[in-house]
Amino acid sequence: MDRTNSPVLVTGGAGYIGSHAVLSLKDAGWPVSVIDNLSTGFRFAVPEGVPLYQGDIEDGALLERIFAEQGMGDGRGAIMHFAGSIVVPESVADPLKYYRNNTAKSRALIESAVRASVPHFIFSSTAATYGIPEVSPVSEDAPQSPINPYGWSKLMTERMLADTACAHAINYCVLRYFNVAGADPDARSGQSTAGATHLIKVAVEAALGKRDHVSVFGTDYATPDGTGVRDYIHVSDLAAAHVLALEALIDAPERSMTMNCGYGRGFSVLEVLDALDRLTGEAVERRFETRRAGDPDSLVSDPSRIRATLPWTPRFDDLETIISHALAWERRLGEISERQAVNG
């Protein structure tokens, strides 16, 4: 495959998952550029040599310039779309923000791609589109019944892509993430957002003294130890799946795909915290609190389709490996913050 003829624009490429996709693309020899408004992303997350355009994905004139400068359009290139808002409680409190950032702006981005004839589109979706599944593991054919505006905002974009692909010369891949965690194994990038709510991020912050405890929401779930069970996927394995999906879209331009991204097995909150304690040799403080509304007992993917469709072999399918990489990044992030403080 001639990668040099397929430039890739990564939206939200200065954020957590987007920056790992940029690393995977760059490592594999793809020409890659980034658009990010830096509202939640970080300049330091974009590797040296990768063009970063600071701006918004609904800015059609900026996108037109990017496509021209990066050699995209007229049947060449691809978009990997990660830009958006991701905090579920915030989506309940401020739904219009999510319908603007995740739905309306995605519509503008898709329209720009169609106008320029950018032929391939990979979309960062979520298991939140399933709502509270009746069956676990969850397959792609499970009913999609989101229980919050975040899930709905992503599902609407999935629908827009499907309808657009029927009307225009564009194919797409929707990847529905389960619980993304970990960091680049070489500590080049990781979860850097202040006040993040993901369990492993919160736990490693507590282990390093950045928080004084970890809240455990609910101990009466129908799971072996009473705490919620989730399918944790290493962010670098997820990024690798995006690159393989891109290759599949290019190889079969008449085909579009929707696939879950997970390992197909889950760990409870207490199992995650126990694994962290083993790695650090110290017990992180746990505070047991009431359930949060809408949290399912167990949310585990059925990854059969992605394994049958793509030559995807996860490299980091191990809970302690995921946590150890998150710990290493958290330490590195502290060094970056100190250096930035010194340099003003």
Residues tagged active-site:
150
Q: Count CA atoms within 13 Å of residue 60 on its CB side.
A: 10
**Is residue 228 left, alpha or beta, with left meaning phi > 0 and alpha meaning psi from -120 to 50?**
beta
Say if residues 264 and 137 touch (Cβ distance below 8 Å): yes
Distance CA 11, CA 126 (A): 16
Q: How many CB atoms lie under 10 A from the CB of residue 209? A: 8
Partners of 35 in beta bridges: 11, 53
Burial class, 222, CB count within 10 angstroms (exposed 0-12 / middle 13-18 / buried 19+): exposed
Distance CA 210, CA 136 (A): 34
Residue whose C-alpha is closest to residue 179's, from 261, 236, 124:
261
CA distances from 309 to 30, 248, 254, 304, 313 (A): 21, 9, 15, 9, 12
Residue whose C-alpha is closest to residue 267's, from 228, 325, 219:
228
Distance CA 214, CA 44 (A): 28
Q: Which helix (H) or strand (E) holds 61?
A: helix 60-70
In this structure, what token pair is assigned to residue 199?
């369990």
Say if residues 101 and 56 touch (Cβ distance below 8 Å): no
Say if residues 126 and 153 touch (Cβ distance below 8 Å): no
DSSP result, 184-200 = -TTSS-----TT---HH
Sole residue written with tokens 């355009």:
53
